[in-house]
Amino acid sequence: MAVRVIQVGLGPIGERVLCQVIERQGFEAVAAVDVDPEKVGRDVGELLGLEGGRGLAVQGDLAATLASTAADVVALCTTSSLGSIMSDMETILGARLPVVSTTETLSYPHFAQPELSRRLDELAQIAGVAVVGTGVNPGFAMDTIPIVLTAACRNVDSIEVDRLQDASPRRLPFQQKIGAGLAEDLFRDMVSRGELGHVGLGESIAMVAAAMGWKLDRITDIVEPKIAEEDVSSNDVLVKKGQASGIIQDGTGYCDGEPLIKMHMEAYLGAPETVDTVRVFGSPNLTSTIKGIEGDVATASVAVNAIPKALVAKPGLRTMGDLPIVSWWGGGS
């Protein structure tokens, strides 16, 4: 039997998740919920640009949807902030449904938000279901992959992760999130207000540290502009020479003052390639290179692929490090 999914949140990522749930074997979309009055009432097929209607109208009231829909799981794709999804989480867990969410700060919230994590873990345990935050990053490229690699090691001293992304083919909100086209001053202002940059680097660092058994003293996370050396453009954005074409972001996890985990991200228009590199320093030393992890597709893929594993996971707040290996599944229901 297909896994019956209620999709909550129909922004760019939520739409992609719902698309996969509709199109892939083993999943069935049983409801879609969004707060946007422009979307409520519309057929999801039409909203997603699929051929033909799906006989499924977007609903506006989460609690009412949960009460009236037989479902196995909720896919929650609303915001990046754990605090702002707590109310929806309480509603969903009150209905005793497991949750897979692309909320970045939910991927490993124990370090940065221990109180909320405890509360959520408690709610999920009471509900007897698992809650998992995941996506391509955080959730896969910069945390799951390095964690998996260390299986081959008898000792690990430190870990470095580099993610280079050409932002040109990404959706416009992503290009905006990395400040493409901003003057340098404005870029820095927005960074200082927390309005720019990748959300989740600290969570990836904390997740890797937890898997390694390293107790971190602190995590740093610094966002700098990548300044265009010549004009560069995507379908949506023109970046002039001297403006920011994207971000350079560095995160470091310190254990007893030593920088044991270093994560470096560059995401900008015109980057030469999209490549993920992991270096594990230990015995043996390992270097992994992955090409082709396309962010927007992959975030939805990782979330959808995590659903079957969340259904069999131990109740509570879980992370990618706790689940059985998340992988694609094409065998149908």
Counting contacts by CB under 8 A, is residue 121 touching its own copies?
no
Residue 302 engages its own copies in binding (rule: CB under 8 A):
yes
Does 144 help bind its own copies (rule: CB under 8 A)? Answer: yes
> Min. distance of Cβ 284 from its own copies in angstroms?
5
In angstroms, what is the C-alpha Rg of the chain?
Answer: 20
* In the block, residue with structure tokens 């960074």: 191
Which of 126, 152, 172, 222 touches its own copies (CB under 8 A)?
Answer: 152
| 259 lies in the binding site for its own copies (CB under 8 A) | no
3-state secondary structure of 92: helix
Is residue 222 involved in binding its own copies (CB under 8 A)? no
Q: Considering the rule CB under 8 A, would residue 156 count as an interface residue with its own copies?
A: yes
Stretch that binds its own copies, among 82-90, 229-237, 238-246, 300-308 (CB under 8 A): 300-308
H or E, element range at 203: helix 201-212
What span, in angstroms and rounded, lies between the C-alpha atoms of 15 and 9?
Answer: 8
Nearer to its own copies, 89 or 219 (CB): 219
Q: Quick one: which segment of 66-74, 191-199, 225-233, 283-291 binds its own copies (CB under 8 A)?
A: 283-291
Taking a C-beta distance cutoff of 8 angstroms, is the pair 29, 7 a contact? yes
Is residue 183 packed enough to be buried (19+ CB in 10 Å), middle (13-18) or exposed (0-12)? Answer: middle
Between 152 and 222, name the residue whose CB sits nearer to its own copies.
152
Q: Is 162 in the site for its own copies (CB under 8 A)?
A: no
Query: 306-329: string of b/e by CB count within 10 Å (b at 16+)?
Result: bbbbbeebeebbbbbeebeebeeb
Interacting residue with its own copies among 304, 307, 310, 317 (CB under 8 A): 304
Min. distance of Cβ 118 from its own copies in angstroms? 20
Contact residue for its own copies among 40, 149, 186, 311 (CB under 8 A): 149
Residue 325 in contact with its own copies, rule: CB under 8 A = yes
User: How many other CB atoms sit within 10 Å of the CB of residue 68?
Assistant: 10
CA 223 to chain centre: 18
Does 49 sit near its own copies (CB under 8 A)?
Answer: no
Region of 95-103, 149-157, 182-190, 261-269 interacting with its own copies (CB under 8 A) = 149-157
Interaction of residue 50 with its own copies, rule CB under 8 A: no
Which DSSP category does 29 fall into? E
Residues 277 and 288 sit within 8 Å (Cβ to Cβ): yes
- Alpha carbon separation from 280 to 82, 149, 248, 293 (Å, rounded): 30, 8, 22, 20
Q: Enumerate the β-bridge partners of residue 218.
A: 254
Contact between 101 and 13 under an 8 Å Cβ cutoff? The reply is: no
| Residue 287 binding its own copies, by CB under 8 A | yes
Whichever of 92 and 208 has its CB closer to its own copies, that residue is: 208
Q: Is 101 in the site for its own copies (CB under 8 A)?
A: no
108 binds its own copies (CB under 8 A): no
Q: Identify which of residues 144 and 252 has a Cβ nearer to its own copies in the complex.
A: 144
Which structure tokens are listed for 269?
Answer: 């228009």
